[in-house]
Structure 1
């Protein structure tokens, strides 16, 4: 995964993030990540209620950016 990520970053620097080669590498990396995550044992997680509001907002913003990036990739 690390080699693929580095390769993708090199291509992005050389050709830009919207280049089809970069997008293909990103999609390959996404698939590897999904395979890895689904291979892990499933654990029930507890909702952390004592987390500061600012931290919750930061995490939600990060998740929203990730969702938007996935949508962009899916449209390509």
Structure 2
């Protein structure tokens, strides 16, 4: 049984039954999309300790970036002399 045969079978259904089947399929797709949209956010940090670590890591990365840019700037300045 290939897909074309199945589509022809649906086409042979009475209009009311085909409409009900179509509505059911649309509702099923809508339910799947709704369910996927309402899944909990797995990227959100739940524990306060994890949030604190993430904040410290972010601040550390910011400091490292500033230090790196300053070091590169000084190296460029020294290279011009």
TM-score bin (small chain): 0.3 to 0.5
Q: Which has the larger radius of gyration?
A: 2
TM-score of the aligned structures, taking structure 2 as reference length = 0.38
TM-score of the aligned structures, taking structure 1 as reference length = 0.40
User: As a proportion of its length, which structure holds more helix?
Assistant: 2
Greater relative CO, 1 or 2 (CA 8 Å, sep 6+): 1
